Amino acid sequence: MIQKPKGTYDVYQEKGRKILYLENIIASLMEYYNIDYVRTPIFEASELFHRGVGETTDIVSKETYDFLDRGNRNMTLRPENTAGVVRSYIENKMYGEANQPIKTWYYGPMYRYERPQSGRFREFYQFGVEIFGSNDPALDAEIISIPVNFYKLLGLKGIKVNINSLGDSESRENYRQALLNYFKPHLNCLCEDCQRRYEKNPLRILDCKFDANLDIIKKAPRILDYLNETSKNHFLNVQKYLKAMNIDFEINPNIVRGLDYYTHTVFEVEADIKGFGSQNVLCGGGRYNNLVENIGGPSTPGVGFALGLERLLSALEFENIKLIEEKSLDLYVIPMSENEKEYASSITNGLRMSGFKIDIDYMNRNIKSNFKQSERLNAKFIAIIGEEEINNNYLTIKNNKTKQEYKVKIEEIIDFLDEHLDHDDDCNCGHHE
Ligand code: HAM
């Protein structure tokens, strides 16, 4: 049997409903922040990610899905969406628009050829935000507030915000020098990858999954000691605005992030949930003031984040948050025989267009198993249609909870359902206001 590719998963039934529910919440939350939807292609020229995410990152050097298209162009399935959104910002000349800053959000699949393990997939979904055109530290704090508010809105309690600063170019250069000096006498203790990183980008050594527990890594110089005045001020202001918004955070100097484009603020949100496991980073992001220029646009500051949907779903499961109500129907229609099916279709179609949730028996069940099916579907009412009903222009409608039966004239069905769904149950079909 053909199976799904390693590191991917199918979505169906309850999980599908949960995901659609989350997507709706995301879209409406974004309206509250005045952030516009953006969608970019799932594949882009490979060069975009080399220049954007960085050659020395694990993501680009080991994890991309690359292919030659039929025109011999090097293409890559996007491992993340910041680079793609920046490309789109430049290509569509959004920097020239009057309504700065440009605020965008996206949701969609990303691809990384990682070793599949709990919380890590090869195809995974991210919801993210990218904002261009302002270097205001209040915006860094606003970006951090989005995932925090989203998680709170969903009822997650065990969340922890870690922040750090990587400073501006000058601070980073000073820090780079400090790392080069520090690691020089220890080079042969480091893995081969890190020896290469030493030459190209020593900051990446701090992010190595292989060497992470070495003492020399733990005792390496800290970026916060190398921030210049401008960078220190920026970082202090971000903290001021986070406090103003009542967002708890911790400064964690170990956060360097696995992508090269960051300057100033970087942050991660962790699930501080017992037993959640090591893949507990729910979300990450930060400021990237040089990326637009590096990809070929005018010098423009940017800041953003992305959160993984899969890790969010498992955090919700760990905290026992159900998210969605049990599925239900307003009415389940049972035609007694083949002769009543046309009539049933006509009535069902009309009622659906009037805003009721309805299904019909398509399996020609006998009446007893149809009652069972109506319970499985959590139908509030059942409509039985037989010869007698058609000849006399009414339906036999049964309340599935109270078992009370009604004979309702065809032209009165909408009023009947409106009234009884309101009275008999907590109806949320949206058309009774
Ligand atoms: P990232 O930290 O690589 O950042 O990914 C963000 C989030 O995506 C992670 O915190 C995690 O929840 C989820 N994620 C990443 N890889 C996987 C995976 N293999 N399986 C499941 N979930 C995963 C970025 O992608 C940046 N573009 C974030 C950003 C936006 N920074 C600025 N703007």
CATH number at residue 344: 3.40.50.800
Distance from residue 50's CA to the centre of ligand 1 (Å): 17
Does ligand 1 have an atom closer than 6 angstroms to the CB of 112? yes
pTM of the model: 0.93
Model pLDDT, residue 428: 45
Residue 200 is assigned to a structural domain of this protein:
no
Does ligand 1 have an atom closer than 6 angstroms to the CB of 52? no
Asked whether residue 239 falls in the same domain as residue 376, the answer is no
Asked whether residue 151 falls in the same domain as residue 79, the answer is yes
Nearest CA to ligand 1 atom 9: 283
Among candidates 136, 103, 127, which has minimal Cα distance to 34? 103
Asked whether residue 313 falls in the same domain as residue 404, the answer is no
Distance from residue 125's CA to the centre of ligand 1 (Å): 9
Model pLDDT, residue 283: 97
Mean pLDDT taken over the chain: 93
The CATH number of whichever domain residue 99 belongs to comes to: 3.30.930.10
Does ligand 1 have an atom closer than 6 angstroms to the CB of 82? yes
Say how far apart CA 234 and CA 286 lie, in whole Å.
13
Model pLDDT, residue 49: 96
Distance from residue 191's CA to the centre of ligand 1 (Å): 25
Say how far apart CA 150 and CA 173 lie, in whole Å.
36
Report the residue among 163, 281, 288 best suited for mutation to probe ligand 1: largest number of ligand atoms under 8 A from its CB.
281
Report the residue among 126, 139, 151, 288 best suited for mutation to probe ligand 1: largest number of ligand atoms under 8 A from its CB.
126
Asked whether residue 291 falls in the same domain as residue 411, the answer is no
Residue 177 is assigned to a structural domain of this protein:
no
Asked whether residue 34 falls in the same domain as residue 117, the answer is yes
Does ligand 1 have an atom closer than 6 angstroms to the CB of 264? no
Total tally of structural domains belonging to the chain: 2
Asked whether residue 145 falls in the same domain as residue 280, the answer is yes
Asked whether residue 254 falls in the same domain as residue 308, the answer is yes
In sign, the C-alpha dihedral spanning 262, 220, 308, 4 is: positive
Does ligand 1 have an atom closer than 6 angstroms to the CB of 114? yes
Residue 242 is assigned to a structural domain of this protein:
yes
Distance from residue 259's CA to the centre of ligand 1 (Å): 10
Residue-range definition of the domain harbouring residue 308: 13-168+228-318
Distance from residue 172's CA to the centre of ligand 1 (Å): 23
Asked whether residue 64 falls in the same domain as residue 83, the answer is yes
Ligand 1: which atom is nearest the Cα of residue 128? 30
Given a contact cutoff of 8 angstroms between Cβ atoms, the answer to whether 57 and 114 are in contact is no
Boundary of a domain, candidates 262, 289, 318? 318
Residue 158 is assigned to a structural domain of this protein:
yes
Model pLDDT, residue 213: 80
Does ligand 1 have an atom closer than 6 angstroms to the CB of 306? yes
How does DSSP classify residue 114? P
Model pLDDT, residue 423: 58
Bin 95: left if φ > 0, else alpha if -120 < ψ < 50, else beta. alpha
Nearest CA to ligand 1 atom 18: 120
Residue 368 is assigned to a structural domain of this protein:
yes
Q: How far is CA 106 from CA 90, 269, 274, in A?
A: 17, 19, 30
In sign, the C-alpha dihedral spanning 132, 137, 138, 144 is: positive
Ligand 1: which atom is nearest the Cα of residue 311? 12
Residue 236 is assigned to a structural domain of this protein:
yes
Residue 2 is assigned to a structural domain of this protein:
no
Does ligand 1 have an atom closer than 6 angstroms to the CB of 301? no
Q: Which two tokens stand for residue 420?
A: 């009884």
Does ligand 1 have an atom closer than 6 angstroms to the CB of 356? no
Strand partners for 302: 132
Q: In a 10 Å sphere around its CB, with 0-12 CB exposed, 13-18 middle and 19+ buried, how is residue 227 labelled?
A: buried
Ligand 1: which atom is nearest the Cα of residue 114? 19
The pLDDT profile of the chain, 433 residues, written as one tens digit per residue, is 999 999 999 999 999 999 999 999 999 999 999 999 999 999 999 999 999 988 888 899 899 999 999 999 999 999 999 999 999 999 999 999 999 999 999 999 999 999 988 889 999 999 999 999 999 999 999 999 999 999 999 999 989 999 999 999 999 999 999 999 999 999 888 898 899 889 888 988 988 878 878 888 889 999 999 999 999 999 999 999 999 999 999 999 989 888 889 999 999 999 888 878 766 899 999 999 999 999 999 999 999 999 999 999 999 999 999 999 889 999 999 999 999 999 999 999 999 999 999 999 999 999 999 999 999 999 999 999 999 999 999 999 999 999 999 999 999 999 999 999 975 444 444 444 3
Residue 385 is assigned to a structural domain of this protein:
yes
Distance from residue 109's CA to the centre of ligand 1 (Å): 11
Does ligand 1 have an atom closer than 6 angstroms to the CB of 305? yes
Asked whether residue 87 falls in the same domain as residue 147, the answer is yes
In sign, the C-alpha dihedral spanning 258, 129, 47, 201 is: negative
Asked whether residue 282 falls in the same domain as residue 311, the answer is yes
Asked whether residue 388 falls in the same domain as residue 411, the answer is yes
Asked whether residue 367 falls in the same domain as residue 304, the answer is no
